[in-house]
Amino acid sequence: MAGLINNLLILSLVFQNNCLGFRSPLSVFKRYKDATRSLSSECLGSDRPVISLGLSDFALDIRMPGVTPKQSDTYLCMSVSLPVDDEAYVVDFKPHASMDTVHHMLLFGCNEPSSTENYWDCDEGTCKDKSNILYAWARNAPPTRLPKGVGFRVGGETGGKFFVLQVHYGDISAFRDKHKDCSGVTLHLTHQKQPLIAGMYLMMSVSTVIPPGEKVVDADIACHYKRFPMHLFAYRVHTHRLGKVVSGYRVRNGQWTLIGRQSPQLPQAFYPVEHPVDVSYDDILAARCVFSGEGRTTETHIGGTANDEMCNFYIMYYMEAKHAVSYMTCTQNANPEMFRNIPQEANIPIPVKPDMLKMTHGHHEETKDTDKKSSLQLSKGEEEEILDQDFHIEEAVEWPGLDLNLGQVSGLALDHENNLVVFHRGDHVWDENSFDSKFVYQQRGLGPIEQNTIFVLNPSTAKLLHSTGKSLFYLPHGLSIDKNGNYWLTDVALHQVFKLGADSKEPLLTLGVALQPGSDKNHFCQPTDVAVDPITGSVYVSDGYCNSRIIQFSPNGLYIMQWGEETSLGRARPGQFNIPHSLALIPDFSQLCVADRENGRIQCFRLGTGEFVKEIKHKSFGRELFAVSYAPGGLLFAVNGMPYPGEAEPVQGFVMNFSTGEIIDTFIPLRKSFEMPHDVVASEDKTVFVGDVHARTVWKFASTEKMEHRSVKKAGIEVQEIKELETVVEARLKNNPEPTDPLKKQEKQHLVRQASTGVSFVLITTLLIIPVVVLLAILVFIRWRKTTVYGADGEHKLDSNSSRVLGRLRGKGGGGLNLGNFFASHKGYSRKGFDRLSTEGSDQEKDEDDGTDSEEEYSAPPPPPAPSSS
């Protein structure tokens, strides 16, 4: 019997070892510990960063590697890689920190930390890619607890591969003895799939301005929720010194339900949601931060320094695993009017004792001089959430929109369901015969376009969902959609503006007189675009090719005011236009931005008054800027025109920081080339669509994060994959202008070096080794045959035979793999016979048969034609 028991025990141990062979943390630890950082002997427990907790569970210890901060208000970061490749779930956190030394800790998840050092100053950043807060600890605050069955998904195909710990050391008087700190957190992870996945929803204001001395300033944020149900269980608030109270709510059918309310001057950890709150499709999530500008002598803006402000409301939630989304953001105020009904509690500051205020911010006598601290950078993880400056987009090559059967694409917009709406010209073409010298349409005999001119497309699949607009338009141009889902459209042949219901076949409102150009209050002359203020309902029309003005109408079409004039000789002044071609309404800043096409710039004006605010102009725009679009969160998108003969600026798209006007990124297609990008529209998640009148197509662009961080793990990678990777690198090089920031330039160079040395080196080395081995084998074989069969004559035969073999091998080696060929087909872009006929084009489209340029302006003499590149 004892022998049987012993055998069973042995079998169970063998079975257990086999089970642990692939996923056991103990087996993982053997390879993980070799890469573990050298830590101070004072850091108890840190010599075993991975601890097995059973067959499927393990603990990961994340600790500071024995640091001694040298000054107060120091932020230090360190990173730990996930010790397993497959998917795991974080189900619990155990903090290790002393309230005497640590002010607060944040734990982020990401794919690439900002540094590979043992630890670094967080001023360098936390992560190079998108980071997600998983945990927060602050002294005198309750610990974060995940509900049973809920976990943060990490690793695998979609989860983060690294954890980055950020520790804020407030008052360093506790470090007078020069001891080393090993604060951190221990994570409990499991391989068992969790039925509920945790995530983070961040609500933040990006446009709040706090006037000096102003007693009460509200920053409101609100977004419609358009996903599967989520359940809220914790919240965190964050502002800087001027914040008094931050409150978050779910609004359903007009009823406000409190998620959480807290003073941002108390410890900024996650607090539990007192009463369970669920959020369903079409609910509204709303938050308000209350500030006071008392004591300030200048305006305070949203920013990352000690003298700036922030307004953040974090919500920790869980969803069913099959529908889970790990991170969502809201940076707009979708319904300002609703805040009239916000509960009064949201406006009442929460009192904080002075000693608690001092402890919360971690500031003391040494740091009272705010002038000296004006450039102090606060928590980098939170700073980067203001606006992701390291933002890159590239063509979504899987998008089938290039194959749509469209006419000249003139306008794009996104409806409330985020579907793409396309306005195109069917079988009508704007060419040199379309108008006479007085801008009267000359092809009325063709009648209106007999095809549907408005297509509603699924933004992911390009599937046609709905179409309308048959027999209504002659030459479509601009498209906009108001908050009620109505289409606002312009027709340059009819010289009119139309308001059209999404499902109606007849206009709800018509502005202008059909086929009659003019410049008074009742006429337009080739109007180009429309923008509708979501708050007031005011309608703004850019008019147009033969007028140089912006006209404001009431919601029911009554003329209110206009501004603008023709461009004078010399440099164009503010408020002067040479074809105001496209409009972008910026609700976050109460501004209207105009693509002043032939002046190659963007001009922005205050809504309601038309007061000039600023100009955005870059050399890389070239002479023409066709369209502009704004995405909530502070990003501006634009597309320019083809370069004039002898000019180098390529046709491309631009991503800009709206506040500064700085170009963050540029983009071009990877398939085909831009010919005349005419309109651009960007969604809240920064997906971008570009419509091209010459190419008669719509391109889709999206974030390149996954593509850029993809690693090649196998030496036997397919050649086609290498082509795709190197094509992306080449497109990025050709696409991006000379960066003004040397750090960004270094990053681009590193990307190219990494792609070429990491992939091409492995492939080339492999291909070179194979023929060498084969050659040596042949030489040995021939040598052996010579000595055994041919005798002295064999040497002559060896020389000739081996030279022929070597020649053949060299021939194959020379032509078998030429990485330069991978780039050759991507050098430059095809203009498809583009020849400019005018210095000031309208929207007349090119006929591919006669090779003429269709964007021909009505009065300016044409320059010499540009040479064709195809």
Q: Which residues are catalytic?
A: 103-104, 166, 168, 238, 240, 310
Beta bridge partners of 315: 201, 235
Q: How many residues does the chain have?
A: 870
Cα(299)–Cα(671) distance, rounded to whole angstroms?
A: 47
Q: Work out whether strand 576-577 and strand 565-566 pair parallel, antiparallel, or are unpaired.
A: parallel
Burial category of 436 from C-beta neighbours within 10 Å (exposed 0-12, middle 13-18, buried 19 and up): exposed
Beta bridge partners of 565: 576
Report which secondary-structure segment, H or E, holds 331.
none
Task: Let me know: does 658 contact 611? Beta carbons within 8 Å.
Answer: no
Cα(133)–Cα(127) distance, rounded to whole angstroms?
A: 11
Task: Let me know: does 142 contact 77? Beta carbons within 8 Å.
Answer: no
What is the DSSP secondary structure assignment for residue 236, as one 8-state letter?
E
Task: Let me know: does 339 contact 288? Beta carbons within 8 Å.
Answer: yes
What is the DSSP secondary structure assignment for residue 525, as one 8-state letter?
S
Q: Work out whether strand 327-330 and strand 243-252 pair parallel, antiparallel, or are unpaired.
A: unpaired
Tokens standing for residue 825? 């087909």
| Omega cis (within 30) before 608 | no
Place of tokens 């305070």: 300
Residues whose CB is less than 8 angstroms from the CB of residue 68 and which lie 6 or more positions away in sequence, other chains included: 175, 178, 179, 180, 181
Cα(714)–Cα(342) distance, rounded to whole angstroms?
A: 57
CA quadruple 228, 233, 239, 243: dihedral positive or negative? positive
Crossing angle for the helix pair 742-755 and 719-735, to the nearest 10 degrees: 160
In a 13 Å sphere around the CA of 84, the CA atoms on its Cβ side amount to 29
Residue burial 767-791, b: 16+ Cβ < 10 Å; e: rest = eeeebeeeeeeeeeebeeebeeeee
Q: Taking CA 601 as the corner, what is the angle to CA 599 and CA 605, rounded to the nearest 5 degrees?
A: 110
Burial category of 118 from C-beta neighbours within 10 Å (exposed 0-12, middle 13-18, buried 19 and up): middle
Q: Is 291 left (phi over 0), alpha (psi -120 to 50) or beta?
A: beta
